[in-house]
Structure 1
Amino acid sequence: MTPPSWTDGPQPRTGRLDGLRLALTTLTVAPVAGPRRLDRAVAGRAMTLAPAVGALLGALLGGVLAALAAGLPALVAATLTVGLAALLSRGLHLDGLADTVDALGSYRSRERALEIMKSPEVGPFGVVALILVLLLQVGALAQLSARPLPALVTAVAAAVAGGRLAISEACRRGVPAARPGGMGALVAGTVHPAAVAVAALAVAALAVPAVPHRPWQGPAAVLGSLLVVVGLRVHLVRRFGGVTGDVLGFLSETATTVIAIGLILF
């Protein structure tokens, strides 16, 4: 197979769907053809579409959780759903979470921290981060599983969409890449800030039915997670010199977890 071209040239008419193809093939295991052309314009479209892809994936996971919770204990149903979420995203975001936390926990120079992040090995900091995040997600989904079907599905959809919104935010214009190559260099700085704002409002609106008796709580959880993401992104850019693919995964899992917890408070 001929690899796609990594260029910044004008996007051909026939390649206008390449952004959607890239979003689906990068963020999910959807059996769709990859983009014919891979450049920063396509990457920007893909990262802009990330929250929409997340909403679809989250709605699917919410339906699975509801079906499992009808016949299994809540914790078992939630554990299987979190496992399915990792499977459907190839575990990429969890890998980024572990690698980023290992790099942060090393307290080494920027160059050495980036090397640690790139290493295939997972250190103790990464293992602890994975365990903590997965336990929090399982616990939150177990609580959400008792809600009526519409609230449950929209809650999970909002949490997963919010995680992908974090990716869009970290790829907005003005945010540099930490390395000259790799996924981070391809997508960094490609998303228009207005697109991030529109996506944030859409995900917040999606979260309104997630807590039927407190319609403000869902949007508050989404916007609160976005503030956390922005704060972490600023710190990570200062620490590493920019974003990487692993940083995007770290921010995505963090946002998803914060939203899920925010939906079960009170």
Structure 2
Amino acid sequence: MAVSISTKQASLFFFVFVSVLACSALAHEFSILGYAPDDLACIHKVIHLFESWVVKHEKIYESLDEKLHRFEIFMDNLKHIDETNKKVSNYWLGLNEFADLSHEEFKNKFLGLKGDFPERKEESVEEFSYRDFVDLPKSVDWRKKGAVAPELIDCDTSFNSGCNGGLMDYAFAYIMKSEKVTISGYHDGVFDGHCGTELDHGVAAVGYGTSKGLDYVIVRNSWGPKWGEKGYIRMKRKTAKPQGMCGLYMMASYPTKKK
């Protein structure tokens, strides 16, 4: 089947093709973040990086126009990721599978708290209070105790709408309201970056600990194991705000089992 493309499209395609060939001798293995600062030195290296990223994440675009559009978003996100990594020291951003999505596209696809759920009348609700807590361990990780089940967030569709939002009475929550991809591009470390407290995404807190003098909460997300630290993010635990980092302590709930 013949496919017709405009002269402009053909020229752009030829430019991309030649640029990738020109950079082939400069290819190197991805760093742990998916890029190296030198990759931003010229457009040829950025194109080569994008093509390598497309192959790595098995991206398929319907047309050349769509690919060029995704490349522009990729460049914008790459610039933001690199600028952020130069400013922060406790966490890192990287080129993950969301690097070709704009912030609005990411919010529409992966965020959006659903709150139109019937109230669970069979459970009692009481305000949490700190009592009878002595000699608490310095760290807790329920993953190591085999107590973290993927069904809690991913598959609890009866009350929690699977992976696309959920009622905050059934999961811990935080918000990704930064202007760019700060959270969606999270790679590793203890996140203490910019975010708001308007809840629109449910997650589960599965532990806590300390790294290099910085206390954190281990949070399990529902965006798959390729995101963050194999699907998890460590968020700063002690902040000056009672809402916690990114509203983590707002509308929090926990299950109890009757004996």
Q: Is the shorter-chain TM-score for this pair beyond 0.5, marking a shared fold? A: no
User: What's the TM-score once normalised by structure 2's chain length?
Assistant: 0.30
From the two aligned structures, give the one with the greater helix fraction: 1
User: What's the TM-score once normalised by structure 1's chain length?
Assistant: 0.30
Task: From the CA coordinates, give the structure whose radius of gyration is larger.
Answer: 2
Question: Relative contact order: is structure 1 or structure 2 higher (C-alpha 8 Å, sep ≥ 6)?
Answer: 1
